[in-house]
Homo-oligomer: A and B are copies of this chain.
């Protein structure tokens, strides 16, 4: 009964509190839902600028254009230096010399070293785990190690796509160095995606400085399954692989930081963030052009409304999320002494919003739930605890800042993510507006709480 009385008291408080927040958040959400400006922003980023890998001219163009846009909208904006790696994809092709020279479609993993220019030819050994690799040991010497690492599609269909991804992607990150430890000459993985029409899926690897750096690539699901079938039939599989990526000198790039200063506590910051860089294969529409569009449109809507938040709402367009996190790191180095009330990251696509992940638990979480009933308007009022709510904001989170991560329906996210098919047509303007409304609403509430 004591518990029940307490609940009623909290609810009454919450109802009053929510009303106060909703009064201003409501017209902002209405504005977000009633236009397609976020989609127009995304269209420019993807159709006109195109892929935005770190260090590229396109990434620089994206920094320039987004800065100009904020300025044109009357929003305070600045850039802050971020030094980024500059890895450039080259030729990438492979064929099965053991099987009639059948073509193998693959793509180099981000950061991979090159094969000799004329390629390398070696037998392919398949393993399903690092345990299996360890058992084989030096038997993989001189060979290509193929990690057969399918995504768990049951998890994907149950909407735990990111968990399925995390499990499968382990081999992308560390597989090359683990194989190199036993003398392998190259490493291959199965593309970490939930759909394929012979579609390669890239992403960064991380070399262990103690091991030789060997080239690494992801075969499409079709090609990975072909190699698997041939090996399962007991056949010797020998592959010729050509990968000619280059790592050029580091490039000076930037985070773009725009903000609307708070009226009462300008020194308290509600950060909304997304990343401006993308992989090179597609145009980064879902990863993370749509997040950038949400952040930009949120600030534009607030600016246009004439409303001023009590705390500062700061939009950060991070550089180099995909292959280094140097933007997130640089932001933290520059701003760790400022008071961040919340860090809201959006880097999970632009499907229908469902809610947010958050580092909050218990009473603090329930309080936010009570304050944010406005999110029901866009079906984004589900909050779930997560230790990590975003990559660029992870440095802030680890230092104790409250984190939020937008959760669009994840069912199809990994159908497109990191592939050539991550293009504007995968984004629905109405759903993107709903996601934008969710970011706007949460940011506004957190800035006026």
Contact = CB atoms under 8 A, between A and B. Distances in A.
A424 interface: yes
A58 B95 CA distance: 15
A198 B282 contact: yes
A221 B199 CA distance: 14
Contact of A226 (B105, B416, B423): B423
Q: Output the residue of A47, A50, A101, A229 with the most chain B CB within 10 A.
A: A47
A229 B199 CA distance: 23
A222 interface: yes
Interface in A199-228: 199, 221-222, 225-226
A195 to B, nearest CB: 7
A197 B419 contact: yes
A196 B229 contact: no
Given A198-B282, A282-B198, A99 B424 contact: no
A21 interface: no
Query: How many copies of this chain sit in the oligomeric assembly?
Result: 2
B421 A198 contact: yes
Q: How large is the interface on A (under 10, 10 to 19, 20 to 34, 35 or more residues)?
A: 35 or more
Interface in A384-417: 415-416
Given A100-B50, A222-B423, A229 B43 contact: yes
B197 A47 contact: no
A424 B229 contact: yes
A307 interface: no
A420 interface: yes
24 contacts: A47-B102, A48-B99, A48-B100, A49-B100, A50-B99, A50-B102, A50-B103, A51-B103, A61-B100, A196-B197, A197-B197, A197-B199, A197-B415, A197-B419, A197-B421, A198-B199, A198-B421, A198-B423, A199-B199, A222-B421, A225-B424, A226-B423, A226-B424, A229-B424
Interface of A: 43, 47-51, 58, 61, 99-103, 105, 195-199, 221-222, 225-226, 229-230, 282-283, 415-416, 419-421, 423-425
List 10 A-B pairs, minimum CB-CB distance, nearest first: A197-B421, A198-B420, A197-B199, A197-B197, A50-B102, A198-B421, A222-B423, A225-B425, A50-B100, A222-B425
